[in-house]
Copies of this chain bind each other. A is one copy, B any other.
Amino acid sequence: MAIVVQKYGGTSVGDVERMKRVADRVQRSHKAGNQTVVVVSAMGGTTDDLVGMASAISSSPPQRELDMLLTSGERISMALLAMALAERGVEAKSFTGSQAGIITDEVHGKARIVDMTPARLQECLDEGNVAIVAGFQGVSRKTKDITTLGRGGSDTTAVALAAALGADVCEIYTDVDGVFTADPRIVGDARKLDSVSYEEMLELSAQGAGVLQVRSVEFGRNHGVRIHVRSSFSYRTGTWVGPQEDKVEDAIISGVAHDTSEAKLTVQHVPDKVGVASQLFAKLADANVNVDMIVQNVSQEGATDISCTVPRGEVDKATAVLEPLAKQIGAGDVIVDSDIGKVALVGAGMKTHPGVAAKMFSALSDAGVNIQMISTSTIRVSVVVDAAQVEDAVRAVHDAFDLGEEHEEQGAG
């Protein structure tokens, strides 16, 4: 008997009718003889409504209470799904993150899973029932408080459960058919990928491809969980995420991701001394700011500009840390630019194919896109550009590497 973990996002359970369709799908898995665990997000819109009420009450609500508030959303959707299954004669029990044994650290708003004790779920499955689990949430081992896993945390809940239960597959249901070579809303001929390696998916997720939370991919890679990203609106095969050797095609480039949710911070005239940069980023880490790209210019006259990108929602937190520190170390002003976007080219093949970065930069240049920052890994090249030019940049790069539907895959070098 196979163990299947299915995760449905907020759009898939967006209203009562959609909830019933999800119940049909779960019933199908259950009837096929699978031990089925379902992870659900809050119904689409619910989280926004709750955040709206919180904002009306407080400009900076305590994180503990924000977590308490937001976790009510999954509670609603999971109970309704259990009812829809009962109506179909399938016995199902819903479990909060805490009841499901999702144990986290105590960082409210972006807690990390530190342990999984899904004994109650196992018992539920052994009784022949479907287990429904609230995504996105856990409970702190130390404080016993309710925590949330951050945006997209339900993906991580699902993959972590799949790992803990030794599931055969973790199906991530979403409103698109899988992982694409670029966002189909921007690039008309973007192509669905049949498979992608954990490493590539990590880079794609980190660079803004919204289908999977980065941490869920890390979890999948670390525990060898086979992930199937697919649409809840069709029965078509989606994109499989797994080890490199599972890949059915061996393209050099997997896709182009983009992200317009970040802002650029620049600390000007930082004295060029050992340890100064590390001090800046240590303080940001202490304040739980997620720093993404970092660029340091060549030193001129004993001072240098250091730029980094952070999620736009964390800009205030970051400047509150950086401004006093800049004064203290004798640096200049802290400049914030929220009008930027990030475009990244990802592909495991680029490791062995030189010239990918050069070809990308030249495509951007031909399209009249100015590059503000560059950062690379062995399987990724990212650039920061003006927000208004992000879509042009995505299209230019996607075209340059012939990633679209109509073309054969071609080399990049």
Taking a contact as CB atoms under 8 Å apart, the answer to whether B72 and A58 are in contact is no
Taking a contact as CB atoms under 8 Å apart, the answer to whether B82 and A75 are in contact is no
User: A68-B94, A75-B72, A76-B50 are contacts. A99–B62 as well, Cβ < 8 Å?
Assistant: no
A79: interface (CB < 8 Å): yes
A20: interface (CB < 8 Å): yes
- Of the candidates B19, B56, B79, B99, the one whose C-beta lies within 8 Å of that of A65 is B79
Taking a contact as CB atoms under 8 Å apart, the answer to whether A79 and B58 are in contact is no
Chain B min CB distance to A387 (Å): 32
**How many chain copies does the complex carry?**
2
Chain B residues with CB below 8 A from A64, complex form: 82, 93
Mask, A52-87, CB within 8 Å of B = 1, is: 011011110110111011011101101110111011
Interface residues of A in 143-159 (CB under 8 A from B): 144, 146
User: A62-B86, A86-B65, A144-B120 are contacts. A57–B80 as well, Cβ < 8 Å?
Assistant: yes
Chain B residues with CB below 8 A from A68, complex form: 75, 78-79, 82, 94
A16: interface (CB < 8 Å): yes
User: A16-B53, A57-B19 are contacts. A83–B62 as well, Cβ < 8 Å?
Assistant: yes
Mask, A81-104, CB within 8 Å of B = 1, is: 011101100000110100100000
Chain B residues with CB below 8 A from A78, complex form: 68
Binding site for B on A (CB under 8 A): 16, 19-20, 50, 53-54, 56-59, 61-62, 64-66, 68-69, 71-73, 75-76, 78-80, 82-84, 86-87, 93-94, 96, 99, 120, 144, 146
Question: Can you pick out 27 interface pairs between chain A and chain B where the beta carbons lie within 8 Å of each other?
Answer: A19-B57, A20-B57, A50-B76, A53-B80, A54-B79, A54-B83, A57-B80, A57-B83, A57-B87, A58-B83, A59-B87, A61-B87, A62-B83, A62-B86, A65-B80, A65-B82, A65-B83, A65-B86, A65-B93, A66-B79, A68-B75, A68-B78, A68-B79, A69-B83, A72-B76, A75-B75, A120-B144
